Amino acid sequence: MTPDWPRLIAASYRVLVGGDLEADLERTDRAILAHALTDDPRIVYVNGFAARLWERPRRTFVGMPSRWTAPPEARSERAGALAPVGVVTGYRGERISATGRRFVIRDATVWPVLDDAGAVIGQAATFRDVERVTRPLLEILATTPAEVADAIARGADRIELCVDYPAGGTTPPPDLIREAVGLTAERSIGVMVMIRPRGGDFVYAPDEIATMCREIATAVAAGASGLVLGCLTPAGAIDVEAVRILLAEADGVPVTFHRAVDVAVDPVATAAAAFALGCARVLTSGGAPTAPDGVATIRRMLEAAPPDRIVMPGSGVRGSNADALRAATGATELHASLAYFRG
């Protein structure tokens, strides 16, 4: 019989820590999560606050090895600090989201989860205090398992996965997604999967939107950490209804609005609309052939973006101009293809 984790988490907190957690664990303004005590502890419960912080909806978060919540270099500290099966207060540690964003949790309380017979079956944690870690983050495009491995070796914080790169990238097959996830997951390197049924323009018919919805479901089932998509109207504006349908299908999985923004009539307004609809980031060259050429527009996009959303310069990004591009735009994330590293 599956334990009633929310009830046992709250009851154990009351007995071991003292006081009560909020009656509705889902709607509280603190993170609450728990893992089972097994040889390879897996997440068994997360509330809404924790799911948003880690950028992982419940259906992809529950069942994940709990060590993946921390970046690889912080896992030894995490394991050592949380090893005692007792109450820990004032815990502080670095964590990593599905898309590679770092944050530090502070003043966390950790406690054992007891079953109805009083046996320890898990460990839970709660905290409110979170500090974002500002650091340069690099996303690298890959189209094959070999390229994924190469991107990892070259320091990728995140992978964008697609096929048919000459056409601007299209949706990769499920087997490729699973293989890419297998290569990256242990390192907490997220795989953002392109959702694009064909090359060409970004104006999609209803049957193509339906295809994209099926591709989203397949990609998420195969382990995608996020999705990359974009839709425009024939007039060159964002296709609000199409994007809304696709975001609903994504159901909490982070979405990047891709370089369709760069062929829109008004890239800045299109980026703002994408954020308003719920996209987590926009990939852009500022409407120019390359990001260094589009610095002024990228800066305007960043100035208009909500504080928790990302404008990510891409196209023409390479080691020789990355620092200057960050300085000129204020961007914290950059996107590049392996071609620039190899050239």
* DSSP symbols for 199-252: SS-S---HHHHHHHHHHHHHHHHTT-SEEEE--B-TTSSB-HHHHHHHHHHHTT
Give pLDDT, residue 80.
83
Distance CA 286, CA 236 (A): 15
Mean pLDDT calculated for residue range 188-209: 97
Alpha carbon distances (Å) from 59 to 47, 112, 125, 252, 256: 12, 24, 19, 10, 20
343 — pLDDT class (breaks 50, 70, 90): very low
Q: Is 124's pLDDT higher than 50?
A: yes
Q: Compute the C-alpha angle 314/99/331, nearest 5°.
A: 40
Q: Is 340's pLDDT higher than 70?
A: no
Mean pLDDT calculated for residue range 271-279: 98
> What is the secondary structure of 24-76 as a DSSP string?
-TTTSSSEEEEEE-SSS-BEEEE-HHHHHHTT--HHHHTTSBGGGGS-GGGHH
Reduce the DSSP state of residue 22 to 3 states and report it.
coil
Q: Are 299 and 287 in contact (CB under 8 A)?
A: no
Residue type, 21: L
Distance CA 171, CA 228 (A): 9
Domains 5-133 and 137-342 share a fold: no
2 — pLDDT class (breaks 50, 70, 90): confident
What is the maximum span of the chain, computed from C-alpha positions, in angstroms? 66
126 — pLDDT class (breaks 50, 70, 90): very high
Mean pLDDT calculated for residue range 291-301: 96
Q: Are 168 and 199 in contact (CB under 8 A)?
A: yes
Distance CA 145, CA 151 (A): 10
Q: Is 131's pLDDT higher than 70?
A: yes
pLDDT tens per residue across span 256-266:
999 999 999 99
118 — pLDDT class (breaks 50, 70, 90): very high
Task: Provide the residue ranges of all domains of the chain, joining segments of one domain with +.
Answer: 5-133, 137-342
* Nearest C-alpha neighbor of 63 from the set 35, 86, 101: 35
| H or E stretch at 16 | helix 5-16
Whole-prediction pTM:
0.94
Q: Is 251's pLDDT higher than 90?
A: yes
pLDDT tens per residue across span 51-105:
999 999 999 999 999 999 999 999 998 888 777 778 999 999 999 999 999 999 9
Q: What is the DSSP letter of 171?
A: P
Percent above pLDDT 70 for the chain: 99
Mean pLDDT of the chain: 94
Per CATH, which fold does 137-342 belong to?
Answer: TIM Barrel (3.20.20)
Give pLDDT, residue 81.
79
Q: Is 249's pLDDT higher than 90?
A: yes
Q: Is 9's pLDDT higher than 70?
A: yes
Q: How crowded is residue 14: how many other Cβ atoms within 10 Å of its Cβ?
A: 12
Give pLDDT, residue 341.
57
Q: Which CATH class is domain 5-133?
A: alpha beta
